[in-house]
Amino acid sequence: MSILITQFFNGLSLGSVMLLIALGLAITFGLMGVINMAHGELIMVGAYMTYVIQQMFAKYLPSSIDYYYFLAIPVAFFVSAFIGWVLEKWLIQYLYHRPLDSLLATWGVSLILQQMARSIFGAPNVAVLSPSWLEGGVNFAGIVFPYKRLFILLFVLVCMLILYFYLNKTPAGRRMRAVTLNRDMASCLGISSRKVDAYAFAIGSGFAGLAGCALTLLGPIGPTIGTYYIVDAFMVVILGGVGKLIGTIFGAFGIGLVSTLTEYSTSTTMAKVVIFAMIIAFLQWKPSGLVSVKTRSLD
């Protein structure tokens, strides 16, 4: 029983990481119809920003190094968001609703960003030391729940609450939802879809940076860290339903739980096969995903 509880907790932890990674894709893909293959490299940017902040604290503020993570979180978000804004301004805006062209273009951008990371930080992976207050775990009924994974769960929950508040309680967020549902009607009502697209892509990129910041707590980072997660992130978005954040949440935790529970009885490779087969079968039954966008348009 304790093993099943541990696997269930690991599934929640994996699902939370996948959710944080997929949030940015859900925003950009649902709003613009852009397949952003450079999303993984924006995760890498957030991870390396965390590494840079840690090194700066180790050199200039060694007595306060346990608190570097509180500065690394906003730095990872804003640096990734700025890179995403530049990418949208100079490339993505010309590729809206051209998924194949956007796939090829952003794949080229991902290779450029990877090579830049190798030139600056080197090809080998680097380790980011976790703050001492995240070492250890909670022992409950003979089961140890690591502080790192509990922190990631809390971190993702806070990010979701902030995003929910932004989308539902602020004028900018409501404009983003309006453009997602009906771009032409929103434009007729005076909403600048061009500005909404730029801000949305920046926010999605910022969430990718936060995902990279969280991944530094789980292991070493390198120039190719984003490539390990980009396919899973697209699976989460497609399974949840394009443009629906609630579907993304269900998709992320569903895949995380099924993956870890399947690994318990088989292997990691077999778990991947099972996940792919289940998603393919589900999409044959419901192509729009778990949660579909309701519209009055006649197709």
Give the model's pLDDT for residue 1.
65
Say whether pLDDT at 299 is over 50.
no
- 162: confidence class by pLDDT, cuts 50, 70, 90: very high
How many angstroms separate the CA atoms of 78 and 256, rounded?
A: 28
**Which residue intervals of the chain are DSSP H helices?**
2-32, 39-60, 68-90, 99-121, 147-169, 171-181, 183-188, 193-215, 230-240, 245-265, 268-285
Mean pLDDT of the 3-17 span: 84
Specify the pLDDT at position 298.
41
Q: Which H or E element spans position 140?
A: strand 137-140
Reported pTM: 0.90
Alpha-carbon distance of 58 to 51, in angstroms, equals 11
How buried is 264 (Cβ within 10 angstroms: 0-12 exposed, 13-18 middle, 19+ buried)? middle
Query: Looking at the predicted structure, is the pLDDT value of residue 82 above 60?
Result: yes
Weakest mean pLDDT among 99-108, 147-156, 199-208, 268-277? 268-277
* Distance, CA of 227 to CA of 224 (rounded, Å): 6
Q: What is the pLDDT of residue 35?
A: 80
Report the percent of the chain where pLDDT is more than 90.
35
Within 13 Å of residue 299, how many CA atoms lie on the same side as its CB? 2
Q: How far apart are CA 107 and CA 237, in angstroms?
A: 18
Residue 122 falls in which region: left (phi positive, over 0), alpha (psi -120 to 50) or beta = left
Distance CA(245)–CA(160), nearest Å, equals: 9
Over residues 265-289, mean pLDDT: 82
Query: pLDDT-based confidence at 237, cuts 50/70/90?
Result: confident
DSSP category for residue 141: T
Encoded tokens for 194: 């061009």
Which range of 28-42, 212-226, 277-291 scores highest in mean pLDDT? It is 212-226
Instruction: Specify the pLDDT at position 221.
Output: 92
Range from 101-110, 111-120, 273-282 carrying the lowest mean pLDDT: 273-282
* Predicted local confidence at residue 286, as pLDDT: 81
